[in-house]
Amino acid sequence: MDLEHLRELGQQLRVDAVRAADAAGSGHPTSSMSAADLMAVLLARHLRYDFGDPAHPGNDHLIFSKGHASPLLYALFKAAGAVGDDELLTFRQQGSRLEGHPTPRLPWVDVATGSLGQGLPVGAGLALAGKRLDRLPYRTWVLCGDSELAEGSMWEAFEYAGHEGLDQLTAIVDVNRLGQRGPTRHEWDLDAYAARIRAFGWHTVEVDGHDPAAVDAAYTEARETTGRPTAVIARTVKGQGVSAVRDREGAHGKPLPDAAEAVAELGGRRDLLVDVQPPPEVRAPEHPRADLALPVYEPGDEVATRDAYGQALAALGTARGDVVALDGEVSDSTRAKFFAEEHPERFIECYIAEQQLVATATGVQARGWTPYVSTFGAFLTRAHDFLRMAAVSGAKLAVAGSHAGVAIGEDGPSQMGLEDLAMFRSVHESTVLHPCDANQTARLVSAVCDRPGISYLRTSRDAFPVLYGPDEPFAVGGSRVLRSSGEDRVTLAGAGVTVHEALIAADRLAEEGIAARVIDCYSVKPVDADTLHRAAEDTGRIVTVEDHRPEGGLGDAVLEAFADGRPVPRVVRLAVRTMPDSATAAQQLAAAGIDAEAIVAAARRLVSATG
Amino acid sequence: MDLEHLRELGQQLRVDAVRAADAAGSGHPTSSMSAADLMAVLLARHLRYDFGDPAHPGNDHLIFSKGHASPLLYALFKAAGAVGDDELLTFRQQGSRLEGHPTPRLPWVDVATGSLGQGLPVGAGLALAGKRLDRLPYRTWVLCGDSELAEGSMWEAFEYAGHEGLDQLTAIVDVNRLGQRGPTRHEWDLDAYAARIRAFGWHTVEVDGHDPAAVDAAYTEARETTGRPTAVIARTVKGQGVSAVRDREGAHGKPLPDAAEAVAELGGRRDLLVDVQPPPEVRAPEHPRADLALPVYEPGDEVATRDAYGQALAALGTARGDVVALDGEVSDSTRAKFFAEEHPERFIECYIAEQQLVATATGVQARGWTPYVSTFGAFLTRAHDFLRMAAVSGAKLAVAGSHAGVAIGEDGPSQMGLEDLAMFRSVHESTVLHPCDANQTARLVSAVCDRPGISYLRTSRDAFPVLYGPDEPFAVGGSRVLRSSGEDRVTLAGAGVTVHEALIAADRLAEEGIAARVIDCYSVKPVDADTLHRAAEDTGRIVTVEDHRPEGGLGDAVLEAFADGRPVPRVVRLAVRTMPDSATAAQQLAAAGIDAEAIVAAARRLVSATG
């Protein structure tokens, strides 16, 4: 395609973006128009992609980090022959695959974007998969906005990709000068962006984003640059091509005032079809399998669930060649180090950058790998938005948060995962597990391996007695009744450390003549409703106890089992309602009112009040 | 204090850090020892601080962004005469102010740290308060680790402070080469850090962090540099001074193996007292007050609660000189623009950088200002860890999240706040409000102004009919019963958009002969337990309906009111259990099963099943 055709293609993309937004009555045509020439050149001259076979292992990857430019992406798909004009005009209508922001409902979209600052981090993960795991020559192209360069996550990604030398990654920065509500910090100061990005070890090229020849040369330079990623920093004009909106404030995120006039000014509708270059003939790596030999622990021995996590993960890595572990520079604490020692080629150190940690995993799983992510449960809150968006992407991620709750002891509240259950429960179609036992933990590490969606495994710092034999099965959605009799008058429901406290409490209550059922609710989501229903029918009273804030955790999960209109038992909830300071683990549990003594008192009160 | 004394002071800080960690049996002495000389020079020669008057408006601010170096901070307080040796040795004991990571339980600590990558962003907020709001000459000194420079939030802060020209801010980077589990990315490549930081508009100085004269000169250079902040990038050695741990891996986060030997190697215990320079005699700015004239809305008119938020905030800004508004480059959407237009001198644009947005607010409130933070509810998840830590700091923040739920319509799930209630409810001692009405919103904007802790206000994109008169009071913890009779057989509890749907549903149910009570649960935390108890007694059945994920939001909050052992009514919960795509607001509510029709069906089923 010669330069004149490239210009025509750029105009077509603008026209189609304008038409799509006009048909929808909403959307971001002006943000699409600035990047139209950038994408025209990419599609016609550089992208290698088989739109008929989106799973082809040699396909390049294209991510719109500025996801609001979705009309441009869909116009691009039309130019590639993947989407027809009729479908283009279904943009933003109910049932259409052409959503307001791109999601993998479209087979050519790897991951959902739309929360700014996430596409480049995930793209870096894809590029890392290509370089270190797949070892395939595909390139990852990420279209970035200039506004989103204010997000720290973009700089985590620049640092990460620069350090890893991801030369198959290209960031295309659409510097159109205008954000949502006005000018960006640096407007058209391309040097400001280039200096920053270069400082992180990238190669940079500054171009006029509306000059196809210059853009073409920049992409060629990017492809020829080895040892480091390249950023093509393009000066563009928002709303380029239509005088009514060109470089105008107040024209963000809305259809053009007169679409017909705009299309006319852009030279009218075109129907160019691009013959996109095919991907190279390569084969995806095979993922060898072997029998799984999970670690086994002796009942009565004291083992920390974080140790069991690391050991089980290492074993899983031996059994399955698709398993990858990622950690945020705390693998000695999370025990992901056990995996790293055995499978260094599939261990990815992400340093203290939890957003990039989750983003890398999201990128890696888009290529068919099975990532396990670990850091302290507390620090996973740093990646909340990335987890939320990973769910929109339909990503499959296993996430382990160590150092759960006040039971970590002296380090204090900054290090305590006390909000993690609430965060992960609210993630769409997530799984939330909180084992109390080493054998149980090992089983659950394996159980989530093929589970769709985001699975969270909460582990504890300190060692506790092994309760279960190594052959006991533990499924997602289950629970374990640890004490039970026909005389049970109250149910104690715990998870993790509070199971051990509940067992002590049950013994003490028995001495007082109060028979108590104890349930290990290791599966917080989905919670084992049947077992809870039975306990409610049998005992009429439930005390929930959790090393977590009172909101969003186990207490809420237990009550959710009764939110279908059935009779609800009487409930008392014990949880961490204080702001802990430094203290030993035992002192912390007591101060928070979630130790055996507090459980005994609550159960006794509940039974006597409703006896 | 001459150089020899500075060296001695550095050794004393090391000795005391070693002793404190030894007494505690845990802590981070080696991370303290690398920065001891840096802090000795700061305390003796540059810091201006009245330890007897920590609220003095002229005081400098010192933040340990590497909060795990708390033993060094407390040793510093001892050297300043603020803490005695006996208290120093209470480090990490229950009840001690000397916690594992610093918190404002100590009067000389502005904000809690310990989640890496937060101290510099908050320090930038303090420095901004000094420059733009207080207009006082205090300096903010932030001790940063090298590991935490992997966090994107640090680069948000570098970008923010560089752009704002915060020349009263100094970052002191303790480049000790070793992270928790091994070497950092750049080890002792100081130039790598300097190039990155300089690219963001900072002045940088590279020094030997164990050479007091060089450090002294660097701080002087920082103080003399105008127009931009300075980073002092110091080459240091982890565990400096004690051969058993010096520059050794595996010595992170634990007491020294032989504290007595270490103290001997460091030259023994010292008790130097530093005569810290006093702050300049300055006065804090006065915050003028005037009568509050909230906007008023006509019942029946259609008004979006985000509009009411912005207009009420502008009015509050007129009545109170301490109110500051901050936004993440979406003030046209959140309507914080109304404040920005009326009070530009107290509006802080943070661009698309939600972590820095919350961090700036946390810094600003530490100086006695009253910040209101706004962005889309969905994007506040990006700042989850900062909100969590702000609660540990005891910070007072009002946070408004706009574009709640599926009701935003076509933009799709990336823009929908669907997890925000769960996130904010789990924040310690938070307040969570979700008004459905413009007059109610205005009242609540004012109600949280003097409320301690983190207050969250959830606002909606679209306009809805005004239900309440402008004179109706709305308090935190309250609710409004909108429909009620002696024959009510079911209670419909909603908030925000679902209140309007519940009213329609109640009308339809009435036509079917089912009297339904409708409660506007605008205060999600604390929830109005009394009103819910009465409704439960009167109707025995509650249908909760919310434009939010089923976990952690209104449904959980309503049930929490019954978690004290009392009888619990039958409950059905309607919430967003699907992954929305693009559709109109009405289509979204229907697809999610939270519109009037779904409420009618749920209420009818519940009543007939339990009739």
**Is B87 in CB contact (< 8 Å) with chain A?**
no
Measured between alpha carbons, how far is A499 from A511 in angstroms, rounded to an integer? 19
Q: How many domains does chain B have?
A: 3
Q: Where are the alpha helices (DSSP H) in A320-366?
A: 331-334, 337-342, 354-366
Mean pLDDT of A464-478: 97
Measured between alpha carbons, how far is B328 from B340 in angstroms, rounded to an integer? 13
Mean pLDDT of A279-288: 96
Structure tokens at A368: 């068919």
Look at residues A465, A491, A516 and tell me which one is the last residue of a structural domain.
Answer: A465
> A184: burial class by Cβ within 10 Å (0-12, 13-18, 19+)?
buried
**pLDDT tens-digit series, residues B196-253:** 999 999 999 999 999 999 999 999 999 999 999 999 999 999 999 999 999 999 999 9
Report the residue from A180, A352, A410 with minimal CB separation from B92. A410
- Whether B99 sits among the annotated catalytic residues: the reply is no
Residues of B in Cβ contact (< 8 Å) with A112: 413-414
**Is B161 in CB contact (< 8 Å) with chain A?**
no
Look at residues B465, B491, B517 and tell me which one is the last residue of a structural domain.
Answer: B465
Angle (nearest 5°) at CA B389 between B387 and B395: 75
**Is A135 in CB contact (< 8 Å) with chain B?**
no
**Is B568 in CB contact (< 8 Å) with chain A?**
yes
Radius of gyration in angstroms for the set of CA atoms belonging to chain A, rounded to a whole number: 27
Do B458 and B396 sit in the same domain of this protein?
yes
Do B501 and B460 sit in the same domain of this protein?
no
Would the pLDDT of A69 be above 90? yes
Do B516 and B551 sit in the same domain of this protein?
yes
B275: in domain: no
Look at residues B395, B430, B465 and tell me which one is the last residue of a structural domain.
Answer: B465
Do B149 and B228 sit in the same domain of this protein?
yes
B216: in domain: yes
Angle (nearest 5°) at CA B290 between B287 and B294: 120
Query: From the candidates B326, B327, B385, which should be mutated to test the interface with A, based on the most A CB atoms within 10 A?
Result: B385
B134: in domain: yes
Residues of B in Cβ contact (< 8 Å) with A414: 67, 100-101, 112-115, 389, 392
Would the pLDDT of A611 be above 70? no
Least Cα separation, residue A484 to chain B (angstroms): 21
Residues of B in Cβ contact (< 8 Å) with A163: 185
pLDDT band at A607 (very low <50, low <70, confident <90, very high): very high
Mean pLDDT of B342-354: 98
Least Cα separation, residue B248 to chain A (angstroms): 15
Query: From the candidates A352, A418, A578, A610, which should be mutated to test the interface with B, based on the most B CB atoms within 10 A?
Result: A352
Output the average pLDDT for chain B: 97
Do B114 and B250 sit in the same domain of this protein?
yes
Whole-model pTM over 0.80:
yes
Asked whether the beta carbons of residue A195 and residue B199 sit closer than 8 angstroms, the reply is: yes
Report the share of chain B in percent with pLDDT over 70: 100
Would the pLDDT of A431 be above 90? yes
Asked whether the beta carbons of residue A381 and residue B385 sit closer than 8 angstroms, the reply is: yes
Residue A497: CATH number of its domain: 3.40.50.920
**pLDDT tens-digit series, residues B161-172:** 999 999 999 999
Residues of A in Cβ contact (< 8 Å) with B360: none
* A433 Ramachandran zone, left/alpha/beta (phi>0; psi -120 to 50): beta
A561 by DSSP, 3-state: which? coil
Cα dihedral value B207, B209, B213, B216, nearest 10: 80
Measured between alpha carbons, how far is B406 from B420 in angstroms, rounded to an integer? 13
Measured between alpha carbons, how far is A526 from B545 in angstroms, rounded to an integer? 21
Give me the amino acid identity at B211: D
- Give residue A594's domain range: 480-610
Q: Which residue has the tokens 């992270």?
A: B179
Task: Look at residue B1 in the predicted model and tell me its pLDDT.
Answer: 76
Q: Where are the alpha helices (DSSP H) in A290-434?
A: 305-319, 331-334, 337-342, 354-366, 384-392, 420-425
- The answer to whether B436 and B495 have CB atoms below 8 angstroms apart is yes
Q: Helix axis angle, B3-24 relative to B70-79, nearest 10°?
A: 120
Residue B407 is classified by DSSP as: G
Q: Is the peptide bond before B526 cis (omega within 30 degrees of 0)?
A: yes
Asked whether the beta carbons of residue B152 and residue A572 sit closer than 8 angstroms, the reply is: no
Query: What H or E segment, with its residue span, contains residue B520?
Result: strand B516-520
B278: in domain: no
**pLDDT tens-digit series, residues B71-125:** 999 999 999 999 999 999 999 999 999 999 999 999 999 999 999 999 999 999 9
Measured between alpha carbons, how far is A109 from A113 in angstroms, rounded to an integer? 9
Give me the amino acid identity at A555: G
- The answer to whether A531 and A502 have CB atoms below 8 angstroms apart is no
Task: Look at residue A391 in the predicted model and tell me its pLDDT.
Answer: 98
**pLDDT tens-digit series, residues A323-345:** 999 999 999 999 999 999 999 99
Task: Look at residue A610 in the predicted model and tell me its pLDDT.
Answer: 79
B438: in domain: yes
- The catalytically annotated residue of A148, A354, A501, A546 is A354
Which residues, 6+ apart, have CB-to-CB distance to B586 below 8 Å? B595
B296: in domain: no
Measured between alpha carbons, how far is A406 from A590 in angstroms, rounded to an integer? 10
Asked whether the beta carbons of residue B555 and residue A572 sit closer than 8 angstroms, the reply is: no
**pLDDT tens-digit series, residues B539-565:** 999 999 999 999 999 999 999 999 999
**Is B362 in CB contact (< 8 Å) with chain A?**
no
Would the pLDDT of A1 be above 90? no
Residues of B in Cβ contact (< 8 Å) with A415: 100-101, 114-115
Measured between alpha carbons, how far is A489 from A535 in angstroms, rounded to an integer? 9
Asked whether the beta carbons of residue A567 and residue B570 sit closer than 8 angstroms, the reply is: yes
- The answer to whether A348 and A125 have CB atoms below 8 angstroms apart is no
Do A76 and A109 sit in the same domain of this protein?
yes
Would the pLDDT of A213 be above 80? yes
**pLDDT tens-digit series, residues B136-156:** 999 999 999 999 999 999 999
Least Cα separation, residue A275 to chain B (angstroms): 30
Do A165 and A240 sit in the same domain of this protein?
yes
- The answer to whether A247 and A237 have CB atoms below 8 angstroms apart is yes
B271: in domain: no
Do B331 and B249 sit in the same domain of this protein?
no
Residue B73: CATH number of its domain: 3.40.50.970
Do A425 and A555 sit in the same domain of this protein?
no
Among the listed residues B478, B490, B563, the one whose alpha carbon sits nearest the alpha carbon of residue B522: B478
Strand B302-304 versus strand B463-465 pairing type: antiparallel
Task: Look at residue B611 in the predicted model and tell me its pLDDT.
Answer: 65
**pLDDT tens-digit series, residues A237-247:** 999 999 999 99
A233 by DSSP, 3-state: which? strand
Q: How many CB atoms lie within 10 A of CB A288?
A: 10
**pLDDT tens-digit series, residues A217-260:** 999 999 999 999 999 999 999 999 999 999 999 999 999 999 99
Do B457 and B590 sit in the same domain of this protein?
no
Phi, psi (deg, nearest 5) at residue A429: 55, 35
- The answer to whether B394 and A581 have CB atoms below 8 angstroms apart is no
Do A109 and A228 sit in the same domain of this protein?
yes
Do A115 and A234 sit in the same domain of this protein?
yes
Asked whether the beta carbons of residue B96 and residue A541 sit closer than 8 angstroms, the reply is: no
Measured between alpha carbons, how far is B267 from B257 in angstroms, rounded to an integer? 17
Measured between alpha carbons, how far is A420 from A294 in angstroms, rounded to an integer? 26
Please state the ipTM of this predicted complex: 0.98
A280: in domain: no
Least Cα separation, residue A252 to chain B (angstroms): 11
Q: Which residue has the tokens 């700089």?
A: A155
* B572 Ramachandran zone, left/alpha/beta (phi>0; psi -120 to 50): beta
**Is B604 in CB contact (< 8 Å) with chain A?**
no
Asked whether the beta carbons of residue B112 and residue A153 sit closer than 8 angstroms, the reply is: no
Structure tokens at B17: 């850090």
